[in-house]
């Protein structure tokens, strides 16, 4: 099943079903042009994973860490499908990073890897936008990773059965493929990530884990159109504006 959060013509936020060019809720069906598609969850936090694909670690002149490299994106980073994302001005390099995102379905703490999928509501697409100018100058990555609209996410939440263990992930900029890989290339798979994260902090319903990006990250320019596609989920699309 594919579910979608959206704002209906009356301004109410709904959780409905996605039908490609239409969404439905409560016996009503709306064309996508009639509604605002929102990020598929409203998380307290987004837990991101660094260097979780060997090819991306290599392109950044790094190695896969001994344990998952964790950092956070707060709720202000969220943006949705179809949004025009305004990036920080005056920067030389703000990169795209396509990621498969996990949405948590129920409160999770000290979860064993074997039980982790019981806590997963589903999967979605995420673009971990990264301000390299400042990321390279700081250790906590607040300026580099936590700026407004730095985590476009969506368009839908796909139930776990819809997303294969080897699901493909691809990112295109203005129709040109820049990143292409699959879920089975994760250095630390989803069960290991949830087990590790919940050892240290409680994941709440709606929280998101961004599982890392494959090779091919690169800079964005004003006016670019970005598409992140995850097999079994669909395509997240957003535009870029740089003042």
| Tally of domains within the chain | 2
Q: Would you state the pLDDT for residue 29?
A: 98
Q: Note whether 71 and 182 are same-domain residues.
A: yes
pLDDT per position as a tens digit, 110-137: 999 999 999 999 999 999 999 999 999 9
Domain, as residue range, for 205: 39-241
Mean per-residue pLDDT over the chain, rounded: 97
Q: Which neighbouring-strand residues pair with 225?
A: 239
Residues 4-23: what's their mean pLDDT? 97
Residues 74-81: what's their mean pLDDT? 98
Residues 147-155: what's their mean pLDDT? 98
Q: Note whether 133 and 21 are same-domain residues.
A: no
pLDDT per position as a tens digit, 179-232: 999 999 999 999 999 999 999 999 999 999 999 999 999 999 999 999 999 999
The strand ranges marked E within the chain are 2-7, 13-18, 22-25, 28-31, 36-38, 46-50, 69-73, 78-79, 84-86, 94-96, 98-104, 120-127, 130-131, 151-158, 168-173, 176-182, 208-210, 218-219, 225-230, 234-241
pLDDT per position as a tens digit, 27-57: 999 999 999 999 999 999 999 999 999 999 9
Q: Note whether 16 and 91 are same-domain residues.
A: no
Q: Note whether 126 and 27 are same-domain residues.
A: no
Q: Quote the DSSP letter at residue 108.
A: B
Q: Would you state the pLDDT for residue 41?
A: 98
Q: Would you state the pLDDT for residue 230?
A: 98
Q: Note whether 111 and 62 are same-domain residues.
A: yes
Q: Note whether 70 and 170 are same-domain residues.
A: yes
Residue 26, domain CATH = 2.30.30
Q: Note whether 20 and 99 are same-domain residues.
A: no
């Amino acid at each position: 099943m594919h579910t979608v959060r959206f704002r209906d013509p009356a301004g109410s936020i709904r959780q409905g079903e996605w039908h490609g060019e239409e969404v439905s809720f409560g016996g009503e069906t709306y064309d996508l042009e009639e509604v605002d598609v929102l990020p598929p969850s409203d998380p307290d936090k987004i837990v991101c994973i660094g260097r979780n694909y060997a090819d991306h670690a290599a392109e950044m002149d790094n190695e896969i860490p001994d344990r998952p490299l964790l950092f956070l994106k707060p709720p202000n980073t969220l943006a949705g499908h179809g949004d025009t994302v305004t990036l920080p001005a005056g920067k030389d390099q703000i990169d795209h990073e396509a990621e498969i995102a996990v949405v948590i379905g129920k409160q999770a703490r000290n979860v064993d890897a074997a039980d982790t999928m019981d806590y997963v509501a589903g999967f979605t697409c995420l673009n971990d936008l990264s301000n390299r100018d400042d990321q390279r100058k700081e250790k906590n990555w607040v300026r580099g990773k936590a700026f407004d609209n730095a985590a476009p996410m969506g368009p839908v939440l796909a139930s776990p059965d819809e997303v294969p263990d080897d699901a493909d992930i691809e990112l295109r900029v203005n129709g040109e493929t820049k990143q292409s890989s699959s879920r089975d290339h994760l250095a630390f798979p989803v069960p290991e990530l949830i087990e590790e994260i919940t050892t240290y902090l409680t994941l709440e319903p709606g929280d998101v884990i961004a599982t890392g990006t494959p090779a091919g990250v690169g800079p964005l320019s004003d006016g670019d159109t970005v598409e992140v596609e995850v097999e079994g989920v669909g395509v997240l699309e957003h535009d870029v504006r740089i003042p």
